[in-house]
Structure 1
Amino acid sequence: MSIQWFPGHMVSARKKAAETMARTDVVIEVLDARCPEASSNPMIRELRAARQRPVLRVLNKADLADPVATRAWLDFYARQPGVLAVALSCKKPGEAAKIPALCRQLAPHRNDPTKPLRMMIMGIPNVGKSTLLNALIKRRIAAVGDEPAVTRHLQSFDLGPGMTITDTPGLMWPKIEHDADGYMLAACHAIGRNAVIDEAVAEFLAGILLVRYPALLAARYGIDVAGMDAIGIVETVGRKRGCLRGGKLELEKAAMILLTDFRSGVLGRISLETPQTRAAMLSLKAQESAAPQAD
């Protein structure tokens, strides 16, 4: 199953974002630290490239991600020109307060009253853009919710002498090229539930957990995961949590328990991709594309 989600309002959001970028010095791209590349919108990269704008990549929700994987991602981004990366939790004002100073490093020419530093927050839905904005301006001004696409309009604010910031709506792209990216985004709740099948997303998540974090599964649900497959994990979680109706397992409820435990962090600190797994996925896709097609 391929997951795609591109609500109509995002067409106009992209156009407005392109117009605003012309007046922007630094793009702040908020990513989900659990899947940084999967949550990086290729349209944002295209818009930045067209205007030659540097980017501060904020790996948000770092408190939910595997710290070893997050360190690898920071090293990965450090090797890219015009890119600075930081891992933090936007819910912690002290960590979010680092952002303006990091942006100044990317635009040192914007450092006097006649040339204010103009920053622009971008990213896909539900990665924490509005939470970051609220932390920076020190009051709740942007709507925050645990559902994708809460913000619908551009909002600009002064951050003090010589600094302005613009918040943008969550922006998806028309076609998610890699199926695994769609599943990772759905697992992290960056895609509306109307576009996904929770059981399929939970099965995908369980497959990753079995390979990389079996001990966390065993500890959370009190189960022996040896010899189990992904769907078996979801079913076992459902039975452990009493997702039965008339003696029949309610798989959707079981799926939501696993997904909620992952999203909230009670399952543990988990990353769905690393630079190594990303490279392996892209290499496999390239090989499949290059292979001759059967008649």
Structure 2
Amino acid sequence: MNVSVKCVKYSGRRLQSTFVPRMVFPDFNIPTSDFKGHQKKAIQRAQNLLPQLNLLVELRDSRAPIATRNLIFDYLSLEKKVDRLVVYTKTDQCDPAIIASLNKWHKEMDEQYIMIDGRSKKGAKDLLHILKWKYDKFLQKNDPGKKTVGLPLGYRMLIGGMPNVGKSTLVNSLRFTGYAGLDHSDGSKPKKVAKTGDQAGVTRNTSECIRISDYKGGLFLYDTPGISLPAKAMSKQRMLSLSLCGCVKNNLVDPVIQADFLLYLLNLQGKYQFYTHYTTTPTNNIDILLSGLKKQVGMTNENAAAIYWTDSWRQGRVLKSGLRSGSKKSSKATPALFELEPILENFQYKKTMQEELEILKGWDVLSQPLLNKREKHLSKANTLF
């Protein structure tokens, strides 16, 4: 892939030079898929639920909007003609420059989307307001006679996306927001309904129907496990982006390779000031950066230093060069993109999505039943004879 970017002039204290970032990232040998059995079950469960759903809510990470787009939900939405809303999470760490691109891309695809911080009350409140509006529009179009009372079974939604994009966190926030302001003197205060964690794969099964509001008969949703893409729809570059977002397990991709990919992306975005307190000047060499980091933080292990650095970015704890933690001038979250595509000048969103959907066509996991353990063992045994 050709990378078209401008070289940025870096002015240091002792020298002035034009730093040229790497145009190509090395082709390391890394796994290209993290698709598991419980994810296959989740897809089949979603297929069974589709006929009774009114809306499919797909979550994506705003720091990697292309890599965290799950084509399986495109397929399911088109197959059953279910309305879909795209929700970008972690916008407190989103680069403002991506917003214009998102507007353009979704307009091309005729898709509705919203950007929120799923952990904030405001983000949950804004999304809940839109879900109520979608419910009203659905009633107005399909059943005007029930415009005031709502559907007998309420408005039903399924929330899905890649692992660790914030689905369960958002479900809890929506439930707390939906029941905020009600009288809880009887001890009926809503409890946390979805298990959350920092690692991918915390949610293993599709939830039962969760009521998040009593609006017009109720707003209900199903929380699903994070679903990865099969290897045929993945690439090494996409896997690296998902690793930086925390959408796959930390030990799946070598931490130094993750750190090197992050350095590669930061240099292309001209964000040298966020690491030059370790290196003095911009660099394309991850060993130089990690060596400087180890000295400042007091580490000796290279892998530990790489994990420390990538985690700092993943959790939005990175400070500008020269600032220390706790400084009034330090930013709470440093915006950056964790993938290459939005940085490219010639990137075509619609064309890329259409090509990826063609790859996924005919994928048998969407129709083939799961084998139980006994059938798996028999199948393996038969191949021996």
Cα distance change, pair 22–206 in 1 and its aligned pair in 2 (3 A): same
- Give the one of 154, 157, 167 matched to 1:119: 157
The residue that corresponds to 1:131 in the other structure is 169
Contact kept in structure 1, 2:244 and 2:338, CA below 8 Å = no
Larger Rg: 2
Work out the CA distance in 2 between the residues paired with 1:229 and 1:180: 19
Partner of 2:323: none
Per-residue deviation, 1:229: 2.7
Matched, 1:277 2:344: yes
1:277 maps to a residue whose letter is L
Residue number among 228, 232, 241 corresponding to 1:172 in the alignment: 228
Q: Is the 8 A contact 1:56 1:102 kept in 2?
A: no
Instruction: Write the distance in 2 (CA, Å) between the matches of 1:195 and 1:263.
Output: 16
User: Aligned pair 1:36/2:92, yes or no?
Assistant: no
Secondary structure of the structure 2 residue equivalent to 1:109? helix
Distance 1:237 1:74, change over 3 A: farther
Match of 2:118 among 77, 82, 90: 90
Residues 283 and 289, structure 2, Cα contact 8 Å, conserved in 1: no
List per-residue Cα deviations over 1:101-158 (Å, max 9, x = no partner): 3235555123553423222111111110001100111141110100111112222112
The aligned counterpart of 1:205 is 262
Distance 1:113 1:144, change over 3 A: same
Q: Could you tell me how far apart the structure 2 residues matched to 1:56 and 1:277 are?
A: 26
Larger deviation, residues 270-279 vs 72-81: 270-279
Moved >6 Å (runs of 4+): 281-284
**Alignment counterpart, residue 54 of structure 1, candidates 59, 76, 83:** 83
Q: Distance in 2 between matches of 1:73 and 1:215?
A: 26
Alignment-derived partner of residue 216 in structure 1: 274
| Counterparts of 1:228 and 1:240, CA distance in 2 | 19
1:6 aligns with 2:6: no
- The alignment of Structure 1 onto Structure 2 pairs a total of residues equal to 277
Deviation at 1:57, TM superposition (A): 1.1
Which 5+ residue runs of structure 1 have no aligned equivalent? Answer: 245-249, 287-295
Question: Contact (CA 8 Å) 1:66, 1:271: kept in 2 or not?
Answer: yes
Taking only the aligned residue pairs, the percentage that are identical comes to 22
| Unaligned segments of structure 2, at least 5 residues | 1-28, 140-146, 177-190, 319-333, 356-385
Scaled by the length of structure 2, the TM-score of the pair is 0.66
Pick closer, same or farther for the CA change 1:29–1:68 going to 2, 3 Å: same
- The alpha carbon displacement at 1:186 in A equals 0.3
Q: Which residue of 1 aligns with 2:128?
A: 100
Contact 1:209/1:217 (8 A) holds in 2:
no
Contact persistence 2:264–2:284 (CA under 8 A): no
Change (3 A) 1:173 1:114: same
1:256 to 307, 321, 325: 307
User: For residues 277 and 106 of structure 1, what CA distance do their matches in structure 2 show?
Assistant: 34
User: Residues 199-253 of structure 1, C-alpha deviation per residue, up to 9 Å, x if partnerless?
Assistant: 11111111111221112222xx353233443443233323332222xxxxx2101
Looking at structure 2, the residues matched to 118 and 209 of structure 1 have their Cα atoms a distance apart, in angstroms, of 41
Query: TM-score under structure 1 normalisation?
Result: 0.85
1:189–1:278 Cα change, 3 Å: farther
Counterpart-to-counterpart distance in 1, 2:348 and 2:278: 32
